[in-house]
Structure 1
């Protein structure tokens, strides 16, 4: 066996494991794991818009943290650039009263739907096990299962001089919106298929809660509260490349 042949075989043996780990054009990666949402929230006072415009002085609300199952699917355009779709089980958020609404405690709950599409850039070479990355994209956010507590409904009825809550009710709707997504993280590949990823995303997000109060089924008042959510979202996932 010539020296040249020996050197070629040695080079192939050395590159083999690294090449098997390579992220390259056409690769797909599926991931699932723990998604934690931490709202950096603030709110405007609850404001009646009809029948007479009026602000509830000192009123406010705070959104609690939430955990859910996150899912993502990544397509590698080449070894550096990738497109990623992110979604998951819609997390349930609790809204608690602040200021003059503080004595009520919990005001309501809602589920947030926020599928996102990201463009990501991976640092280091495609065959590297450890790869930091950054990403930017957008999400469309909407809400379902919006429920107000009896405490809030009773407080609104009392303020409006309405009969007991059995004869009055308040429903709420949260505005949908598009929002940017800023993302940074690291990925580690254990073998040609399995790996792990950890990232943190920031979403500058706001919405308006619009409330309608009825008495005996007839609308009698409308009110609203503006919320800035701006969640920070850590995400730890197990990944599978195919």
Structure 2
């Protein structure tokens, strides 16, 4: 009986040691999973800034825009600097967000769309011992946010409000990332994870319109500041080396 208990104890100790090795300083991991981005969006009213090259400051009252939620696949890669401190890089396939009108523009529904890029670098602190299967963490980091393929897709809005063909550009910006989550180890190498992040971020959408007027075509420039402030959740599966 004592021999059996000794063998069982030795096996258990070996398993603990192996699990610990997978979450200790110097170990590296990768994950893949599903991001859900839920913007807590709002915007300033649409404002004309230039008509025919002449600076103006004309605000259209009770106009605005909001951003829809989106889902995308992505991956992360991380490195245990110590048994508790991890550096992690996050990247997702750029999701396409729908831009919808609010206020007087709500009647038009979807106004346009854009793809968002927001790779992030995080520094995370893992709680509990390295051999623990369940390990919660908190993190903070920074993300570079920019948009591509911005376009107006609603012809009725383009003609009734902007009065002509319109192109759109957006600003890029840096944003802080506040993060929390946990991982659960199934084996020495395989684990699953869940995290939630918040990014306070905004962008200025600039519209350039070839407006059709009684005196001919005039270049009209307008803009609006859109606050996205997304809450991002990630459900993932990963492998530790």
Q: TM-score, normalised by structure 2?
A: 0.90
Superposed CA offset, 1:30-69 (max 9, x none): 1011100000111110000012321111101111000000
Q: State the shift of 1:9 in Å.
A: 6.2
Distance 2:58 2:75 in 1: 43
Instruction: Give unmatched runs, 5+ long, in structure 2.
Output: none
Matched residue SS, 1:208: strand
CA contact (8 A) 2:211 2:220 kept: no
Of residues 50-59 and 224-233 in structure 1, the stretch that sits farther from structure 2 once superposed is 50-59
Counterpart residue number, 2:205: 209
Counterpart residue number, 1:107: 111
Distance 1:151 1:70 in 2: 35
Counterpart residue number, 1:232: 231
CA contact (8 A) 2:43 2:65 kept: yes
CA contact (8 A) 1:212 1:219 kept: no
CA contact (8 A) 2:167 2:208 kept: yes
Q: TM-score, normalised by structure 1?
A: 0.89
Distance 1:219 1:16 in 2: 76
Match for residue 144 of structure 1 among 136, 148, 170:
148
CA contact (8 A) 1:107 1:151 kept: no
Of residues 170-179 and 44-53 in structure 1, the stretch that sits farther from structure 2 once superposed is 44-53
Distance 1:6 1:40 in 2: 59
Superposed CA offset, 1:103-153 (max 9, x none): 111110000000000000000000100000000000000100101022332
CA contact (8 A) 1:37 1:65 kept: yes
Q: State the shift of 1:78 in Å.
A: 1.6
Instruction: Give unmatched runs, 5+ long, in structure 1.
Output: 159-167
CA contact (8 A) 2:68 2:97 kept: yes
Distance 1:49 1:27 in 2: 53
Matched residue SS, 1:53: strand
State yes or no: 1:25 paired with 2:30.
no
Distance 1:74 1:222 in 2: 44
* Structure 1 vs Structure 2 CA RMSD: 1.9
